[in-house]
Chain A
Amino acid sequence: MLEIKDLHVSVGGKEILKGLNLSIGAGEVHAIMGPNGSGKSTLSYTLAGRVGYDVTGGSIIYKGEDLTALPTDARAAKGIFLAMQYPVEIPGVTTINFFKTALNSQRRARGESDLDAVSVLRLVRGKAAALKVPEEMLKRALNVGFSGGEKKRLEILQMALFEPSLAILDETDSGLDIDALKLVADGVNALRAPDRAMLVITHYQRLLNYIVPDRVHVLSAGRIIKDGGKELAHELEAKGYEQIIKDAA
């Protein structure tokens, strides 16, 4: 599904990712853990194609296609979804209108017909109920005045709505209360499918009790320095990054 080879990425002229390798097969869930500033969000923005994240070397192959030249919206239409660490507020644009615009943009890019307002509302309602997102929230301006946890839940609601092939979750668990964490994990697990891959970025092993990963990677200073199974997360929790990084060196 996703094949990243020797990826170098610079932001503002500074190299952040320094030869990152990562391979995720269809149907797999991978977790990335790593200290603050190690480049986790940089990786997720690069996968989504954010302007300013310059790929200076290496390749990103998604479903056999090199992504590096593809603009952000085209990647979304091809099934790449990023649940952001810091979702953005858009004043004056209602959440439901935003969902409809996004959904139909993706559909159009894939040559599918638009969904009308009623169909979108029906679709969103069903998914929102499962995530306990109240209907009133859908009528408010996107993310404006939403609590941290509400914003994260809205990200997962969008994931459920767009049904991406590759979902990247950047610290979706931070800011969630325990009940919400379970809801979100259930939402993610419900989407696990043989033709779908997920990359879960987190600081806490707790999330991985609910979303059990196939592989865990440790990112440090722009490189993956250690890979393992789900037990690696426990090891990290016990030893801390410093020790693991030392051991790997």
Chain B
Amino acid sequence: MSAIRETADQVATLGEKYKYGFVTDIEMEVTPKGLNEDVVRLISGKKNEPEWMLEWRLGAFRRWKEMTEPSWARVHYPKIDYQNSSYYAAPKANPKLESLDEVDPKLLETYAKLGIPLHEQKLLAGVAVDAVFDSVSVATTFKKKLGEAGVIFCPISEAIREHPELVKKYLGSVVPVSDNFFATLNSAVFSDGSFVYVPKGVRCPMELSTYFRINASETGQFERTLIIAEEGAYVSYLEGCTAPMRDENQLHAAVVELVALDGAEIKYSTVQNWYPGNEEGVGGIFNFVTKRGDCRGRDSKISWTQVETGSAITWKYPSCILRGDNSVGEFYSIAIANNYQQADTGTKMIHLGRNTRSRIVSKGISAGHAQNTYRGLVSVHPKAENARNHTQCDSLLIGKSCGAHTVPYIESRNPSARIEHEATTSKIAEDQLFYCTSRGINQEEAVALIVNGFCKEVLQQLPMEFAVEAQKLVGISLEGSVG
């Protein structure tokens, strides 16, 4: 049964505005505010990291001190005081648990509120969950089944200790330490994140999902994710997040690296619902993320799907480096910006190999006073014979005070390349709303229905359980946008 069909039910059950606005009352261990070499050493020490990892972090930190924050994105925010933030937080009882029964009930309660049914539903759904609560992973399920298949799925802090040869080989190989201001900061102070390794010829037996939560006030969150698919391997990874309601702006600067070797395929899906700030634009998460996939092998494929409804500011360009011949990169995106949210997001498709293909489908929805920018680069290098790109970039405006901007950059240095770009901008028509309401559908549900229809191509790319959640989010994030 199509998940799209369930839209109505899903959306209708949602009443509250931002229902994930709560703070779990668990004792936190937080480093003092500020950033210097001692803080980097402290983070590394907390993780019992080997010396080489500490050196790597310190190298990044020294570079970061020389860098300046980028200002080219179409987003505006007060200057971030990097010395007024704390860079590490962990629940105090740092448990090593065999089963969920041992998990702090307060944590489980939080997950329940978030609708993350660690206990039963995920088990039933066959999803392994590496739940990252703030910075430390506290529960990992399905390890055994994955282990039998030879798949490694663990917190990256564990991978650094247990699989140093893999981490050394691939960490920073897609997003170099000095790639950009936020990625370099992340390299110095990353707290935790996920590590996935799928060996040659293995099709990962389940969807992998991690739920990230930001729960400590004024603590930057620096996730680090590394996914490696060996020759002929396949993996689908789901990332989803919600954050408690907070007044302070919280910085989030994650780095995600994907490596696909010959004939491998990685599908990476995100539903992002961090606190966007209130209706007046106060508070909310700053989300500055570097996500990049390297189609290193021939015939490999990397597919990004994202549903971005949260954060006060989003700065995010999941990209594909199409290095291997015949490799394929895909980017499917829904970006919703309401009230005073600012989103500057898009993708980069870098065609290096021959017969490489990329496809971009971007659906931007703006409401309230929001500004939504699609920024995309398609670059074809001289050796990329027969490169193909198709970009479809659609914007939907709700109301009069919002804005949609499309900034496509195209660089072609091979005459055989074929690059197609289509862009549309539309408004939710009054006659569509009238038609829906005349059939008994209330205004907000009608908006959600129409917007979900507009986003259908992207929603269809998501795994089932995420599609349902994403549809709900579309409804929630646009509440009050018409009327």
Stretch at the interface among B47-55, B176-184, B200-208, B436-444: B436-444
Given the contacts A51-B434, A94-B5, A114-B9, A101 and B453 also touching, CB distance less than 8 Å: no
A73 contacts B440, C-beta separation under 8 Å:
yes
Interface residues of B in 418-474 (CB under 8 A from A): 429-432, 434-443, 445, 449-450, 452-457
Chain B binding surface, main DSSP class: helix
Determine if B410 is an interface residue (Cβ-Cβ < 8 Å).
Answer: no
Q: Is B116 an interface residue (CB 8 A)?
A: no
A240 interfacial contact with B, CB 8 Å: no
The answer to whether A92 touches B453 (Cβ under 8 A) is yes
A76→B449 contact, CB < 8 A: no
Q: A82-B438, A117-B5 are in contact. Are A92 and B431 (CB under 8 A)?
A: no
| Chain B CB within 8 A of A105 CB | yes
* B8 contacts partner chain A, Cβ-Cβ < 8 Å: yes
Residues of B within 8 A of A87 (CB): 435
CA distance A158 to B1 in the complex (A): 22
Q: Which residues of chain A are within 8 angstroms of B456 by Cβ–Cβ distance? A: 91-93
Q: Is B439 a contact partner of A162 (Cβ separation < 8 A)?
A: yes
In the complex, chain A residues whose CB is within 8 Å of the CB of B443: 71, 73
Contact, CB under 8 Å: B453 / A88: no
State which residues 63-79 of A face B: CB under 8 Å. 71-73, 75-77
In the complex, which of the residues A49, A84, A88 has the most CB atoms of chain B within 10 Å of its own CB atom? Answer: A88
| Residue A106 CB within 8 A of the other chain | yes
Other-chain residue from B5, B9, B432 in contact with A88 (beta carbon distance below 8 A): B432
Option from B8, B9, B438, B455 in Cβ contact (under 8 Å) with A76: B438
In the complex, A10 has a CB within 8 A of chain B: no
Quick check: B435 and A84 within 8 Å, CB to CB? yes
B12 / chain A contacts, CB cutoff of 8 Å: 101, 104-105, 108
For A42, what are the chain B residues with a Cβ–Cβ distance below 8 Å? Answer: none
User: Is the Cβ of A73 less than 8 Å from the Cβ of B9?
Assistant: no
B440 with A106: CB separation less than 8 A? yes
C-beta contact mask, A84-105 vs B, less than 8 Å → 1, else 0? 1001111111101110111111
Q: Does B7 contact A (CB under 8 A)?
A: yes
Q: Which residues of A contact B435 (CB under 8 A)?
A: 84, 87-88, 90
Tell whether, in the assembled complex, residue B441 and residue A102 are in contact, meaning their CB atoms are under 8 Å apart.
yes
Q: Are B455 and A92 in contact (CB under 8 A)?
A: yes
Chain B positions 1 through 13: 1 when the CB is less than 8 Å from some CB of chain A, otherwise 0: 1101111110010
Is A123 close to B, CB under 8 A?
A: no
Chain B residue nearest in CB terms to A89: B432
Interface size range on B against A: 20 to 34
Interface string of B105-122 (1 = CB under 8 A from A): 000000000000000000
Q: Is A132 an interface residue (CB 8 A)?
A: no
**CB <8 Å contact, B440 and A102:** yes
B residues within 8 A CB of A96? Answer: 5
Could you tell me which residues of chain B, from 2 to 28, have a CB within 8 Å of some CB in chain A? 2, 4-9, 12
Contact A158 B5 (CB under 8 A): no
Determine the distance from Cα of A234 to Cα of B481 in the docked complex, in whole angstroms: 50
Q: Within the assembled complex, what's the spacing in Å between the Cα atoms of A114 and B440?
A: 14
A232 shortest CB reach to chain B, Å: 29
State whether the Cβ of A141 lies closer than 8 Å to any Cβ in chain B.
yes
Report the minimal beta-carbon distance from B270 to chain A, rounded to whole angstroms: 21
How far is A109 from B445 in the complex, measured between Cα atoms in Å? 13
A87 to B432, CA, bound (A): 9
User: Complex: how many Å from CA A76 to CA B431?
Assistant: 16
> Given the known A-B contacts A94-B5, A97-B4, A108-B12, are A48 and B438 also in contact in the complex, defined by CB atoms under 8 Å?
yes
A50 within 8 Å of B (CB atoms): yes
Among residues of A, the one whose C-beta sits closest to the C-beta of B426 is A91
**Contact of B449 with A72 in the complex, beta carbons under 8 Å:** no
Asked whether A101 lies within 8 Å of B8 as measured between CB atoms, the reply is yes
What's the minimum C-beta distance from A135 to chain B, rounded to whole angstroms? 14
Are the CB atoms of A105 and B4 closer together than 8 Å? Answer: no
Q: Which of B430, B431, B439 contacts A102 (CB 8 A)?
A: B439
**Smallest beta-carbon distance B455→chain A, Å:** 7
Tell me, in angstroms, the Cα distance from A100 to B446 when the chains sit together. 13
Residue of B7, B439, B441, B445 most packed against chain A (CB within 10 A): B439
Structural contact, B4 and A94, CB atoms closer than 8 A: yes
Q: Please report which residues of chain B, range 319-361, place their CB below 8 angstroms from some CB of chain A when the two chains form the complex.
A: none
In A117-140, the 8 Å CB interface with B consists of: 117
In contact, A101 and B431 (Cβ under 8 angstroms):
no
Q: Which residues of B contact A103 (CB under 8 A)?
A: 440
CB-nearest residue of chain A to B13: A114
Q: Pick from B5, B442, B455: contact of A97, CB below 8 A.
A: B5
A184 vs chain B, min Cβ distance (A): 18
State whether B5 touches A73 (Cβ < 8 A): no
- Chain A nearest CB from B414 CB (Å) reads 35
Assuming A87-B435, A88-B431, is B452 touching A109 (CB within 8 A)?
Answer: no
Write out the residue numbers on chain A whose beta carbons fall within 8 Å of the beta carbon of B450: 90, 93
Give the one of A45, A90, A96, A100 with max B CB within 10 A. Answer: A90
Q: Known A101-B8, A117-B1; judge A71-B449 contact (CB<8 A).
A: no
List the B side residues contacting A49 at CB < 8 Å: 438
Q: How far is the CA of A75 from the CA of B456 in the complex (A)?
A: 30
- Chain A residues near B439 (CB, 8 Å)? 76, 98, 102, 105-106, 158, 162
User: How many whole Å from B357's CB to the nearest CB in chain A?
Assistant: 25
Q: How far is the CB of B472 from chain A (nearest CB, A)?
A: 14
The CA-CA distance from A45 to B435 in the complex, in Å, is 10
Please state if A93 and B449 are interface contacts (CB–CB under 8 Å). yes
Q: A108 — which chain B residues lie within 8 A by C-beta?
A: 12
Cα A180 to Cα B430 in complex, Å, equals 30
How many Å lie between the Cα of A134 and that of B354 in the bound state? 46
Q: How far is it, in angstroms, between the C-alpha of A75 and the C-alpha of B4 when the chains are bound?
A: 27
| A74 → chain B closest CB, angstroms | 8
The answer for the CA separation of A117 and B442 in the assembled complex, in Å, is: 20
In the complex, chain B residues whose CB is within 8 Å of the CB of A97: 4-5, 7-8
Q: List 17 A-B contacts (CB under 8 A).
A: A48-B438, A51-B430, A52-B430, A71-B437, A71-B443, A73-B437, A76-B440, A90-B432, A90-B449, A92-B455, A97-B7, A98-B436, A98-B439, A100-B8, A101-B441, A105-B8, A114-B9
12 more A-B contacts (CB under 8 A) besides A73-B440, A82-B438, A105-B440?
Answer: A48-B438, A49-B438, A51-B434, A76-B438, A92-B454, A92-B457, A93-B450, A93-B452, A98-B436, A102-B440, A104-B8, A114-B9
Which 4 A-B pairs rank lowest in CB-CB distance, beginning with the nearest? A92-B453, A101-B8, A76-B440, A92-B456
